[in-house]
């Protein structure tokens, strides 16, 4: 009997993706203040509120700014979210990860609890359909990645393929319809950040 069978379903941790360089935004998206505190801290607190151990994925040079947080430090430079997941599974290979990106300011506790309730531990992961893609692809940046996805992550990184969306699809993710697709809206540029700030200011979370 293998280890995964003995630990089924795998325990689940949270992973805040805060290691991006935010080149398009021009400032660290993990430090942006959408909810009265830096977004990376807001997401850590949300994950802990739903009962998960929360880790922050970061670059080595960011670690000094994150004293007191559980950290997953990038092992592969500039490998994007897929590299962050590789580092997380290398650190804790028998754990599943609920990944949340810092550029989704509308993620809230209700969204987390709904995703947790729909978890498919027998699949490679669980994710909602990405609104931006008409082919039904999953959104990998608000998703649960199971340990079974790790071999796929390794294979794709070795092949120089860093698209997390395609990796999650190749891992056999369970893809869900999202009752609140607006929570997946992201802000990657100053213009998008201004629009998001207006929506939050006026409580306009719906699209």
Q: Quick check: 6 pLDDT over 90?
A: no
Q: Is residue 69 part of a domain?
A: yes
Whether residue 154 lies inside any domain: the answer is yes
Look over the chain and give the mean of its residue pLDDT values, rounded to a whole number.
89
Residues 6 or more apart from 95 whose CB is under 8 A from it? 10, 11, 12, 13, 88, 89, 147
CATH assignment of the domain containing 119: 3.90.550.10
**7 occurs within a structural domain:** yes
Instruction: Answer whether residue 146 is part of any domain.
Output: yes
Q: Is residue 95 part of a domain?
A: yes
Task: Please indicate, yes or no, if residue 207 is contained in any of the structural domains.
Answer: no
Model pLDDT for residues 57-104, shown as the tens digit of each residue: 999 999 999 999 999 999 998 899 999 999 999 999 999 999 999 999
What is the count of structural domains for the chain? 1
Asked if residue 162 belongs to a domain, the reply is: yes
Q: What is the C-alpha separation between 157 and 163, in angstroms, rounded?
A: 9
* The pLDDT of residue 151 is above 50: yes
Could you tell me if residue 206 is inside a domain?
no
pLDDT given at position 76? 95
102: CB partners within 8 A, 6+ apart? 16, 17, 18, 20, 29, 30, 32, 39, 40, 43
Please, which residues have CB within 8 angstroms of residue 124's CB and are 6 or more apart in sequence?
A: 145, 146, 148, 149, 152, 168, 170, 171, 172, 173
Q: Are 55 and 64 in contact (CB under 8 A)?
A: no
Instruction: Write down the pTM of the prediction.
Output: 0.89
The parent domain of residue 188 ranges over 3-201
């Amino acid at each position: 009997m293998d280890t995964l069978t003995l630990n089924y379903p795998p325990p689940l941790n949270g992973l805040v993706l805060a290691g991006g360089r935010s080149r398009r935004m021009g400032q660290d998206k993990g430090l942006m203040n959408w909810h009265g505190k830096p977004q990376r801290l807001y997401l850590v607190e949300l994950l802990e509120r739903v009962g998960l151990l929360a880790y922050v994925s970061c670059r080595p040079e960011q670690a000094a700014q994150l004293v007191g947080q559980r950290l997953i430090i990038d092992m592969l430079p500039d490998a994007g979210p897929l590299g962050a997941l590789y580092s997380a599974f290398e650190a804790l290979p028998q754990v599943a990860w609920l990944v949340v990106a810092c550029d989704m300011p509308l993620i809230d506790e209700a969204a987390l609890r709904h995703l947790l309730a729909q978890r498919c531990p027998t699949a490679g992961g669980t994710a909602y359909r990405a609104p931006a893609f008409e082919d039904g692809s999953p959104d990998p940046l608000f998703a649960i990645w199971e340990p079974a996805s790790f071999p796929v992550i390794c294979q794709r990184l070795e092949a120089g393929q860093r698209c997390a969306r395609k990796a999650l699809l190749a891992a056999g993710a369970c893809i869900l319809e999202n009752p609140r697709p607006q929570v997946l809206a992201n802000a990657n540029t100053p213009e998008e950040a201004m629009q998001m700030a207006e929506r939050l200011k006026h409580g306009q979370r719906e699209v």
